[in-house]
Amino acid sequence: MNGKVEEFIQYAYDSLKDGDEISALGFLKEALRVDFEHQEVLYALKCLNWWLEKFQRLDGLSGPYEQGGYILAQWELYNAFLELIGNAYDSCQYALRRFVFTKALDYYLELLSDGTNQQDPALLLQAGRCYKGAGEWEEALRYIEQASRLKREDSAILSELADVNALLGETRAAKVLFREAFYLDPQGVDLTGLESEMIRSLRDKVRDLGYSGNEVAEWIPVWGCIWGIFSVKRELKPVELGRLKQSILSLENEYRSKSGKASADLSGDKSCVKPRLLNRYFWLIDYCEHNRDTTGLIDETMLKIKVIDPLVHEHYKT
């Protein structure tokens, strides 16, 4: 009897991987008729019905881009749902994950197929995210690399590129790209969508330090540097050094200000000013360590770090 149930369950999961949710639902119902108390069947039905209810709203959306975006937006809500019921069956979650991200991908590929949207970095990024979610990391890399060539200084694209590289075992490339993404704009990084253990572990450790909300993304590059995770660095070009110094000056002025809001790129959150400034100090010190006649600037910058955050200074210098 149990063998028949297991067979129906496997048929259901295979159907989901093939994008056939109707057949999957039918197989699960057949399994339930054989054993109406089977815990995995009940669990799988609960999860699949959650998604089927959400998919009923797709037809009311204006087009493929909105439909694909809607599905991806539900993934975070689904994870919250799993926290309530438990994530007890990996095979079920693997099949559902592949089904959901492939379904979202179909909408984006529909837009890419007519040839008029091949140069749209946002669309290419979304397709790459879907391939990543479906476990097709090589294809994800191809699409996200295309997006990065079209829009080079974009933290969302670079962080996704880093994430896929990490999943593929390209650790060195991942570290460089993550460091770059969090330097450009921590708030542009979608922390909930990143999957590699490297960044998820770092995110959780930063949260364990007591940071929350927008602060988490800002402190990730600071502690990522201190803990040796963002350890692969690159040389700054002269024009980039000029921008870095100007950014430091601007952030120092914001940090010294006792009132008022932070600049727009910090989402008006002054608690984000200090970690972003610290990260730029780190970049400046990295530059100085590889260039002559900058010892005085290193000492000066280290003193600034000590003044604004003695704990960071203590950990950084060791």
Verify that 63 and 156 share a domain, yes or no.
yes
Pair (14, 127) in one structural domain: yes
pLDDT for the residue numbered 260: 47
Domain annotation covers residue 184 = no
Asked, for residue 248, whether it belongs to a domain, the answer is: yes
Residues 151 and 283 in one domain: no
- Residue 144 in any domain: the answer is yes
- Considering the domain architecture, whether residues 138 and 243 belong to the same structural domain is answered as no
Q: Specify the number of domains making up the chain.
A: 2
Note whether 10 and 146 are same-domain residues. Answer: yes
**Full residue range of the structural domain in which residue 117 is found:** 2-165
Same domain for 30 and 160: yes
Give the span between the Cα atoms of 256 and 253, in whole angstroms.
5
Percent helix, strand and coil across the chain, each to the nearest 5: 75, 0, 25
Report if residue 182 sits inside a domain.
no
Give the CB-side neighbour count of residue 7, counting CA atoms within 13 A.
6
pLDDT at res. 131 = 98
Q: Are 155 and 24 found together in one domain?
A: yes
- Could you tell me if 108 and 21 lie in one domain? yes
Shared-domain flag, residues 43 and 137: yes
Asked whether residue 158 falls in the same domain as residue 306, the answer is no
Of 123, 139, 165, which marks where a domain is finished? 165
Both structure tokens of 255: 């940090």
The DSSP-derived string for 138-150 is HHHHHHHHHHHHH
Residue 204 lies in a domain: no
Q: Measure CA 33 to chain center.
A: 41
CATH of the domain at 52: 1.25.40.10
Q: The pTM is what? A: 0.91
Tell me the mean pLDDT per 10 residues along the chain, length 318: 88 97 97 94 97 95 95 94 88 97 97 89 97 98 98 96 98 97 97 96 97 96 96 91 96 80 52 95 92 82 96 88
Q: In the listed set 131, 165, 199, which residue is the last one of a domain according to the structure?
A: 165
Residues 159 and 17 in one domain: yes
